[in-house]
Homo-oligomer: A and B are copies of this chain.
Amino acid sequence: MRKTASRSTPRRPPSRPAPTTARAARSRSPSGTNAAPASAPLPGEGKRGEDGHLAYLLRQAQAAARLSLDRALTSTGLTHPQFVVLTMLKAYPGLSGADCARIALLTPQTVNVIIANLERDGAIRKTPHPVHGRVLQWNLTRHGLALLARARLKAAAVERRLAGSLGKRELVTVRRWLAQVAAEFHQD
């Protein structure tokens, strides 16, 4: 597994308290020449809220969700890209690295790194002799299946939170938008 030394504190030092922080103090500091920086907004305020750029909001939301998922997965020793690849490989056994790249919207080089780490950890195995081709086919080991099963439980919780605030119709809208964005920009 991933050389997990000691993940005792998988938490970001939670420094997100009241506006009486060092930052607020510094904003009022008599630095003189520099206009005091306008106090930075919290997520959800101003440009960072519903009025912000879609690209920025998308990035922000994905970053937050990804981080949360990654932390939920630390107990399994998987990273979230590894979780994605494992899931794909279970759904479609025998995919090659290039196949994975296409499906995950990643480059083959990127997938190569992820696959190399998964193999090193004994979660996947390449079929030694694909008969035809230079291609390498990948499959989950028993260990990989167990890993995936545990990771799924964690991921399910994140999934529920993502959908939590949405009504039935809204959920359809969001899903359709996400799928369409992926499909449209995929051609680039």
**Interface set of A (CB-CB < 8 Å, partner B):** 9-10, 12, 15-16, 22-23, 25-27, 29-41, 43-44, 47-69, 71, 80, 84, 91-96, 98-99, 101-109, 127, 130-133, 135, 137, 139, 155, 158-159, 161-166, 170, 172-188
Interchain CA distance A95-B164 in the complex, whole Å: 34
- Contact present for B174 and A37 (CB under 8 Å): no
28 A-B residue contacts at CB 8 Å?
A15-B102, A22-B133, A23-B96, A34-B139, A37-B94, A37-B95, A37-B137, A43-B179, A44-B179, A49-B179, A50-B172, A50-B175, A51-B175, A54-B174, A55-B162, A58-B65, A58-B162, A59-B84, A60-B105, A60-B178, A61-B181, A64-B185, A65-B181, A68-B185, A71-B188, A165-B177, A165-B180, A173-B174
Oligomeric state, in copies: 2
- Kindly list chain B residues whose C-beta atoms are within 8 Å of the C-beta of A127: 31, 33-34
Interchain CA distance A139-B66 in the complex, whole Å: 29
Q: How far is the CB of A80 from the nearest CB of chain B, in Å?
A: 8
Q: How far is the CB of A85 from the nearest CB of chain B, in Å?
A: 12
- Kindly list chain B residues whose C-beta atoms are within 8 Å of the C-beta of A101: 9
Question: Looking across the interface, which residue of chain B has its beta carbon closest to that of A137?
Answer: B34
Interface of A is mostly: helix
- Kindly list chain B residues whose C-beta atoms are within 8 Å of the C-beta of A10: 98, 108
Question: Looking across the interface, which residue of chain B has its beta carbon closest to that of A163?
Answer: B54
- Contact present for B93 and A34 (CB under 8 Å): yes
Interchain CA distance A58-B135 in the complex, whole Å: 30
